[in-house]
Amino acid sequence: MDSAILSQDPPAAEAPGGEGSGQYLTFSVAGQMYGIGILAIKEIIQYGNVSAVPMMPDFIRGVINLRGAVVPVLDLAARFHGTPATLGRRSCVVVVELSEDEQDQDIGVLVDSVSAVLEISANDIESPPAFGTGIRNDFIAGMGKVDGRFVILLDPERVLHSQDLAASAA
């Protein structure tokens, strides 16, 4: 798979209870479907050339060189479930752009496969349940209902927050 830059033109993803609809990139991790608002997605690249960094927690796969920038790669399967992802031919890195302390930070997220960009109406997004998702409740922005099933909509600012990652590493 070649590097594919996603358009930044679609409408912003809405938080639960917002008006209108939002677009979400959906992907699979450990058999579960997740989504992140499309405006946070910078690009999707093939998994490869990840350089390990000593003394990092298991959920940090290492770093990649993305056009001269060092980008950390986070294994969501290991972060959420404690078991590193098994690499397959559809494994890829979703590069998410975060704004932290008024600076943009790119973080790569290792996923099993990317599914599609879905438009989810605000009426089809429920608040996260108190239990039963298998991941921390504060990581979830909402539960999107798509074709009779749920997609866990992640809050990338919480899942990928560098201070939280550093605390987890300690």
CATH number of the domain to which 111 belongs: 2.40.50.180
Number of independent structural domains in the chain: 1
pLDDT value at residue 165: 54
**Residue 94 to residue 106: CA distance in whole angstroms:** 10
Residue range(s) defining the domain that contains residue 48:
4-169
Look at phi and psi of residue 147 and say left if phi exceeds 0, alpha if psi is from -120 to 50, else beta. Answer: left
pLDDT digits (tens, 9 = 90+) for 1-40: 444 444 333 334 444 444 557 999 999 999 999 999 999 9
pLDDT digits (tens, 9 = 90+) for 99-142: 877 788 899 999 999 999 999 999 999 988 777 666 788 889 99
**Residue 17 to residue 12: CA distance in whole angstroms:** 14
Contact 14, 122 (CB under 8 A): yes
Are β-strands 41-46 and 103-111 bridged in parallel, bridged antiparallel, or unpaired?
A: unpaired
